[in-house]
Structure 1
Amino acid sequence: MDLDAISQHFFGTTDIDTLDPDALEAGRERVSIAFGTEREPGRRFALWAVLRATGHAPAPHVAFKDSREIRAAEAYAAAIGYAERADD
């Protein structure tokens, strides 16, 4: 999935940083619903990554049942956390 397409579809913009708190929360809710109903693993992971980026993703072991997906989500979260710390 294309991140800009996800952002446009669920948040109405490709620049999430410009959203007011209510619009951001509404977009998060739409992503959460889509994540909960999506069955295709790649799309589920992309939606989870968007939730993670907006601070509202469930823990990997809660979000995924497949051990490979859990490890991938943990690795992604660790990499993002490392990048965030490096930016500080």
Structure 2
Amino acid sequence: MNLDDQLRRYFGTADLASVPPQALAAGIEHMQVDLGLATDPPRRFALWALLHMLGAAPDLDIAFKDEADREAARKFMDLAGAADGDEA
């Protein structure tokens, strides 16, 4: 799953800074719906990760039934936080 492709799919551009607030909200809502409908674990994780980066991801226990998937998401959150300078 290519990040730029996903940004273009949901927001019409790979440049999120150029997305108007209403379009950003609509794109996020579309992603949340797609996450709820997705059955492929890697696709679910990628959608959840992008939603997390946008501050709109559902809680782990809602997004992932499997504990291993929840643990992978926790590790992702730790790595993303460390990259942003927010050490856990």
Q: TM-score, normalised by structure 2?
A: 0.91
More divergent stretch after superposition (15-24 vs 67-76): 15-24
1:16: which partner in 2? 16
Deviation string, structure 1 residues 37-87 (Cα, Å, up to 9, x no partner): 00000000000011011110012222101111100000001111111126x
* Code of the aligned partner of 1:63: A
Q: Which runs of 5+ in 2 are unaligned?
A: none
Aligned-residue identity in percent: 40
Q: Find the aligned partners of 2:28 and 2:18 in 1 and give their Cα distance.
A: 14
Bigger mean CA deviation after superposition, 8-17 or 38-47: 8-17
Q: Which residue number corresponds to residue 42 of structure 2?
A: 42
Match of residue 2 from structure 2: 2
Q: Which stretches of structure 1, 4 residues or longer, exceed 2 Å deviation after superposition?
A: none
Distance 1:49 1:17 in 2: 19
Cα deviation, 1:1-56, whole Å, max 9, x if unaligned, reads 11111111111111112212111101001100100000000000000011011110
How many residue pairs get aligned? The number is 86
Cross-structure match for 2:65: 65
Gaps of 5+ in 1: none
> One-letter code of the match for 1:81?
G
Q: Under a length normalisation based on structure 1, what TM-score does the superposition of the two structures give?
A: 0.91
